[in-house]
Structure 1
Amino acid sequence: MKTVAALLVFISLAFVAIEGQRAPGIQRCLCRGPGVKIVNPKLIEKVEIHPASPSCGHLEVVVLLKNGARRRCLNPESVFTQNIIRMIANKNRSAQ
């Protein structure tokens, strides 16, 4: 009886450990591919910055455009995107 109880405890602990791990290769990122390097700044309505997380392993920068509410993914490594991130960070610092 003790062996069965110990086995059940071991199996339940194994399920908990496995359930908390992310499946390799499966990511739920918003952007596919590297994204565009530049967008006309006059067309940008909103900027969303999604940091790396367990569901997506890299930084994502998504802009919502005024014309038709299209979403575009920006390449986070481009100079244009780095400038946008810097401007948002500076604006947040000055607001505090």
Structure 2
Amino acid sequence: MTNMMTSTVLISFLACLLLVNVEGQVGHSKTRCLCLNGMVNHVKPVLIEKLEVYTSKHSCQNMEIIVTLKNGKGMKCLNPEAPFAKKTIEKIMKNQRSVQ
């Protein structure tokens, strides 16, 4: 009886250790990028309501620039390598520095 109880406790303890170890490991998670349906190189500035920049993360290796259009016309993914995107990001960074 004592051996069976000791075995049960030992197995339960090892199972708990295994669960803690597995839970803390980084697995091969699915990519959770927002820009999956292609990108545009330019958006007319007068149509832009909001611009969001997402740097690369473990869930998505790509830098993503999401442009929300005015008048509820949806969202576009802006190509981060396009000259328009680079100039726009540079302008935003410059404005943020001058505000601080």
TM range, normalised to the smaller chain? 0.7 to 0.9
TM-score calculated relative to the size of structure 2: 0.75
Match of 2:19 among 1, 15, 18: 15
Tell whether 2:40 aligns with 1:32: no
Q: How is 1:1-96 mapped onto 2 (pairs within 5 angstroms)? A: 8-24=12-28, 26-96=30-100
CA displacement at 1:62 relative to structure 2:
0.2
Structure with larger Rg:
2
RMSD over aligned CA atoms reads 2.3
Aligned positions, number: 96
Q: Of Structure 1 and Structure 2, which has the larger fraction of its residues in helix?
A: 2
Q: Percent identity?
A: 39
When structure 1 is superposed on structure 2, of 48-57 and 14-23 the one drifting more is 14-23
Q: Which runs of 5+ in 2 are unaligned?
A: none
Q: Which runs of 5+ in 1 are unaligned?
A: none
SS in 1 for 2:33: coil
